[in-house]
Structure 1
Amino acid sequence: MLVVGFPSGPLQANCYLLAPGEGEACVVVDPGQDVAETLAEQLRKHRLTPVAVLLTHGHFDHCFSVAPVCDGHDIPAWVHPEDRGLLSDPGRGLGVATRAMFGGSLEMREPAEVRELADGAELDLGGLRVSVAHTPGHTGGSVSFHTGTEEGGRLMLSGDTLFAGSIGRTDLPGGDHQQMLETLRTRVLPLPDDTVVLPGHGPTTTIGRERVSNPFLRGLGSVDQTDPADADAPAAPHRGL
């Protein structure tokens, strides 16, 4: 499998290309701000043909370029229904202070074709088999994508649910700390240690590495769900939105 990743835009959100190999069909995951030039370069370099865009969630730093990428290649965008509204109204997912940072408004629109993701769905996209897990917490419609390699390796595209050494923030509209803890407990911790995590920001990691070193995962199984403020972990540093 070919995996190409690069950060984009002021918030350095990771955009990924996944393909069975060079010269094949590919999927584009999270085309954020300022991706056009680098994306075109990587498509030419690896002789790839996009067949779909997958969105881990609806924050604009991950999907700002979804309409031009999709419409430019005549391909659909896949997004969870709870975050679909953010594609045309990105301000709904931002706090007042964050909106002010970007001039108070952001203009976006849906691409011509949008398809909605469902928990547990299995997508067959250009020869790639991708499974979908609903992982709310960072946003209500956050998802992670899971696929495997011919060599037997496992990949998780975690969006802003899990980072190397941290997790996504839950203080913006649509975020929910209690849901995040449940997602981490039920959707992240059960994964095999050798699962390679491709996060929405920052470097690649593995589930095994995060299980023993990430302060938000250590001891999570014993956290009392009655009050998420009691969780014995530091506040998540803000990475992206």
Structure 2
Amino acid sequence: MLVTGFPAGMFQTNCYILAQDDASECVVVDPGQDAADPLIDFLTQSSLTPTAVLLTHGHLDHTWSVEPICAKYGIPAYIAPEDRYMLADPVKGTGPTLAAVLGDLEFHEPAEVIEFTDGQRLELAGIEITVVQTPGHTQGSVVFLAHADGPDGSVPLALTGDTLFAGSIGRTDLPGGDHEQLLRSIATRLLPLSDDTVVLPGHGGQSSIGQERGTNPFLVGLTDPEQGRL
């Protein structure tokens, strides 16, 4: 499976493209600010057509370009119901500081929005993607789990949005954020994944669950109340 991405805009948000080898369809994850033009160029050059846009959460740096991309290709956007309100009113999710940056800009929902649920399995562009709820950064934050073929077999992938980064975790000082809830989400939903699970975060470089379990300073001593120390 092809998995590629690029950082976009002033927030340097990672926009990802997932496609089966030699396929003509793909899935787009988190098209942020200034992502539309490079994304369309890549899709055109690669002869790929997106079938859906998946959103790890509702913050504008991850959703800025979702409406124009969905309109261009006539495809739906998928998001957790708890964060859907931010598609049309992103200031509610980020506060007054962003309002000053946006000025008179207006945002709208795509024509078709599909809400997913925890544990739901999506079959898109021939790829099976599992939705895992990880509230804390926002109440609608999720992680997408998939698999890609590697030289040594199937490689598990976790597109973690702003829940988990290489060496860090998501901020929780914006509306809907909850630090303790975020740590519980990571402890119960992410750290039990296998060490070789590749972490593809919303910002910065990739990592692995094993690497983060062993070296991420925010996860030191983190425990799962059902399984004990991780």
The TM-score normalised by the length of structure 1 is: 0.89
Alignment RMSD: 1.4
Displacement of 1:222 in angstroms is: 7.8
> Which position in structure 2 is the counterpart of 1:8?
8
Supply the AA of the counterpart residue of 1:6: F
Supply the AA of the counterpart residue of 2:142: V
> Which position in structure 2 is the counterpart of 1:169?
171
Q: Indicate if the aligned counterparts of 1:22 and 1:47 stay in contact, CA closer than 8 A.
A: no
> Which position in structure 2 is the counterpart of 1:206?
208
Correspondence 1:64-75 to 2 at 5 A: 64-75=64-75
Q: Indicate if the aligned counterparts of 1:90 and 1:106 stay in contact, CA closer than 8 A.
A: no
Runs of 4+ in 1 over 4 A off after TM superposition: 103-106
Displacement of 1:97 in angstroms is: 3.1
Correspondence 1:117-156 to 2 at 5 A: 117-150=116-149, 151-156=153-158
Correspondence 1:218-233 to 2 at 5 A: 218-221=220-223
* Structure 1 pair 142–133 and aligned structure 2 pair: CA distance change class (3 A): same
> Which position in structure 2 is the counterpart of 1:109?
108
Q: Quick one: distance in 2 between partners of 1:85 and 1:147?
A: 27
Q: Which deviates more from structure 2 when the two are superposed, residues 73-82 or residues 43-52? A: 43-52
Q: Quick one: distance in 2 between partners of 1:84 and 1:47?
A: 30
> Which runs of no fewer than 5 residues in structure 2 stay unpaired?
226-230
Supply the AA of the counterpart residue of 1:111: P
Q: Quick one: distance in 2 between partners of 1:123 and 1:157?
A: 14
Q: Indicate if the aligned counterparts of 1:155 and 1:198 stay in contact, CA closer than 8 A.
A: yes
Query: What SS does the aligned partner of 1:216 have?
Result: helix
The TM-score normalised by the length of structure 2 is: 0.93
Displacement of 1:24 in angstroms is: 2.3
The answer to whether structure 1 residue 184 and structure 2 residue 186 are counterparts is: yes
> Which position in structure 2 is the counterpart of 1:232?
none
Q: Quick one: distance in 2 between partners of 1:47 and 1:117?
A: 28
Of 194, 197, 202, 1:195 maps to: 197
Q: Quick one: distance in 1 between partners of 2:165 and 2:148?
A: 21
Supply the AA of the counterpart residue of 2:162: D
The answer to whether structure 1 residue 84 and structure 2 residue 89 are counterparts is: no
Equivalent pairs, count: 222
Q: Quick one: distance in 1 between partners of 2:118 and 2:52?
A: 18
Q: Quick one: distance in 2 between partners of 1:99 and 1:180?
A: 25
Q: Quick one: distance in 1 between partners of 2:70 and 2:174?
A: 27
> Which position in structure 1 is the counterpart of 2:36?
36
Query: What SS does the aligned partner of 1:33 have?
Result: coil
Q: Quick one: distance in 2 between partners of 1:155 and 1:203?
A: 14
* Structure 1 pair 183–105 and aligned structure 2 pair: CA distance change class (3 A): farther
> Which position in structure 1 is the counterpart of 2:228?
none
